[in-house]
Structure 1
């Protein structure tokens, strides 16, 4: 496909403005500098600052701009990020990080320990749904010199190192954000990080362009000249772009799952589901527990019995998922397979609804609820349509409402929904990625991916708190098994599937997927071999 044909395709998809889309010039031989990586980004992110927004498209792009202290291997073993080394005291209370001393921000200012202290104690406490709780565990965070940071915990916290992954703790420039309105800081439009790629331009509705950071602290890296994220709203056009080699990389839900079986067989395409281990994304129906009849667990239980998860896996997600059984993914530590399960049984669902007094009217309708569909592609609309069909058979009418990504985030965070279907990450440990959805202390209006369902159970709060502080793995398993038992009985959200997202990329690119956060990592070692 030549440039004219591609621009014609993009015009049909409604994504090319008068500026056009710069075409990547691919060159390089071996692990040397050169080449452009063309990537789909879908949907277009609302902002590129990971500290402000933790939605998947934001993190994918922001991971090349911002960094944290650590990275993680596929088995979630920590590796150096901005910290070249670290020590943990014998009592598990003191974590000392030694930072690289040759790192600069993209505007040339030096990166120092003061940036780490500011980010973890001030900025993220206001803007980040998980970091606030993670770093509230610290008794103090101090910079003992420009390149050493000491975190002293109030009590031992086993997964503390995992708090320093990029999406969990993106380090922000203190000199640009201190004393400002973080969410409206003018630098949000032109993000400044320490990563291997610098923000160059963003033509809304068309593309986001990142270029090599020539002042990167690792000698000779990164190898690529630039990364071009192309906004292609039309699902068919995204598949064609990968098929014809116009784009080199698709990730998450860029390509509709019904197209994956065909596209992964293309001779120039490499396919993998690796690189999502740290996230272990779990998708559920989120019920607003504040609204009748969803404030009654019998209703939520009925919904679980009315949905056939195997159909979702086979017919909607084309095998790129597994049925979920509860709040902890099978891929995450402390999963308990012995919890109560909800079999597909519409008769049980009907009995529970009758027991509640939700009787059908003359048309068989018991209640009508609006389903706010996450705007991540056609497959999620098909997902919603299956839910509507399944629930209609037990008298629950679902009205589907489509919305853009910014609107979905705002309404979900502000509890302005009845039902929606997010997928959240587990971050390797229930204390990091699971408890946030269910503990009452994290009911925070305006903060996306907190306890937006509004569920509250003091015993669940207690169990999560004790499990996070327990040192013995056997004790943690005991506590997490009990909390899973309680949650599966209460069904604050309706767990449906554990997702296996597909990543497909041109075989001429190497070292793209090298960590447990895969496409969200910084790509500082990625190279093109033509």
Structure 2
């Protein structure tokens, strides 16, 4: 049994640093830069801040300033920058990738709802973007934003969506093809893309989360050429360099089309963002206190939350909230589970139900996260509450029920003594404390 993170909705502590507004406006931070092991094939110098007006009238009073560097600390370093190859599903790859990768949708940071990114609107049955056909198939249509271009100025087109699909379905690549493999036909336009699935499914909402630039990637070695550098950006920043073991740096994308809905100004405001890799939680906290980093998202724990909240009088902002992944227990079913537990009975359903009934989720939240978030009853309830059926709620904390199920598991497996092995990462204080809770 293993404790994992998954990219749906997680318990998280997001921390905005001392005087972050000042840093974003014009301050700088020590990035620890040295000679880069990997640099982007494009310029690494941030372009001048874009003009927000083409007239001679005075700037609006609510206009926000441009410039500055923000340093984000994380305890993980990406194994690759390519989100589609092995290792690309690592969370830090997604965190950094938000700076320069784009797809059909993104997650709103406040509501956690899906919102359009490369397309004008998310397709639904109501707006005509989704049609359930008489033959049982389902057609989905995307209208790509006219202003959407890659960082090299090439328009993002339906051909890029088709190339992305062809890349994912390439049998020579070890890419997960779930749902993509159900696409039976496509139609490509300059600023449109349409595909038909063999049967209706809500999973179409998760397709094309990352779109690839055909003009830049076609003809390259996709599995090897894009691990240490990135293709032209579709996001607000451009990959600049990766100092292995130290940081990844991204700089402003001068061709980014996004605007601030409040002011109408071209985004982004920052000159650059540096993702600094600090393996240990204590070291991350030390760097934060020393104002060497501006934003941290450390593993959640009661002690850490309280220690950081103590810094608020000095100007720190601390937020404990549901994030974009969820912490959960995962049963291992492969043969490797017998290496650590030769007596594993994870394949027994009653045993798994028994374990579920021994977990006091409310206690875990109270002890590790100081009660600042709520346990989930479904992995979709945070970002799609309307379709959540609360399937996990049937597994309440019930030791008596757990004992009954364990008795059934013993009878079914013939094992009088049932051994459970819990493994997790040692550099995550919250997970270590979780293992201690399981022993009480």
Q: Structure 1 residues 70 and 353 mapped into 2: Cα distance closer, same or farther (>3 Å)?
A: closer
Deviation at 1:82, TM superposition (A): 1.7
Partner of 2:197: 153
Matched, 1:343 2:343: no
Partner of 2:388: 334
* From 352, 355, 370, the counterpart of 1:303: 355
* From 68, 85, 88, the counterpart of 1:35: 68
Q: Structure 1 residues 124 and 237 mapped into 2: Cα distance closer, same or farther (>3 Å)?
A: farther
| Secondary structure at 1:287 match in 2 | coil
Matches within 5 A, 1:32-181: 32-52=65-85, 53-73=88-108, 74-75=110-111, 79-85=115-121, 88-89=128-129, 91-92=131-132, 93-107=138-152, 109-123=154-168, 128-129=175-176, 132-144=177-189, 146-158=190-202, 160=204, 162-163=205-206, 169-178=209-218, 181=221
| Secondary structure at 1:57 match in 2 | helix
Q: Structure 1 residues 237 and 104 mapped into 2: Cα distance closer, same or farther (>3 Å)?
A: same
Residue-pair matches, total: 352
The separation in 1 between residues aligned to 2:94 and 2:118, in whole angstroms, is 18
Matches within 5 A, 1:73-472: 73=108, 74-75=110-111, 79-85=115-121, 88-89=128-129, 91-92=131-132, 93-107=138-152, 109-123=154-168, 128-129=175-176, 132-144=177-189, 146-158=190-202, 160=204, 162-163=205-206, 169-178=209-218, 181-184=221-224, 186-192=225-231, 193-218=233-258, 220-251=266-297, 253-254=298-299, 256-264=301-309, 266-267=312-313, 268-273=315-320, 276=323, 279=324, 281-288=326-333, 292-324=344-376, 329=381, 332=385, 333-336=387-390, 339-345=394-400, 347-348=403-404, 351-352=407-408, 354-355=410-411, 356-360=413-417, 366-367=418-419, 369=421, 371-374=422-425, 377-387=428-438, 389=439
| Secondary structure at 1:209 match in 2 | strand
Say if 2:75 and 2:284, in contact at 8 Å, map to a contact too: no
Say if 2:73 and 2:275, in contact at 8 Å, map to a contact too: yes
Q: Structure 1 residues 327 and 40 mapped into 2: Cα distance closer, same or farther (>3 Å)?
A: closer
Q: Structure 1 residues 380 and 181 mapped into 2: Cα distance closer, same or farther (>3 Å)?
A: farther
The separation in 1 between residues aligned to 2:222 and 2:423, in whole angstroms, is 28
Normalising to structure 2: TM-score of the pair?
A: 0.68
Alpha-carbon displacement from aligned partner over 1:280-302 (angstroms, at most 9, x marks no partner): 62512323266642222233233
| Secondary structure at 2:199 match in 1 | coil
Say if 1:280 and 1:329, in contact at 8 Å, map to a contact too: no
* Structure of greater relative contact order (alpha carbons < 8 Å, 6+ residues apart): 2
The separation in 1 between residues aligned to 2:379 and 2:268, in whole angstroms, is 38
Larger proportion of helix: 1
Q: Structure 1 residues 325 and 214 mapped into 2: Cα distance closer, same or farther (>3 Å)?
A: closer
Q: Structure 1 residues 341 and 80 mapped into 2: Cα distance closer, same or farther (>3 Å)?
A: closer
Say if 2:75 and 2:278, in contact at 8 Å, map to a contact too: yes
For structure 1, the 5+ residue unaligned runs are 1-14, 361-365, 391-530
Partner of 2:52: none
Deviation at 1:343, TM superposition (A): 1.2
The separation in 1 between residues aligned to 2:296 and 2:146, in whole angstroms, is 35
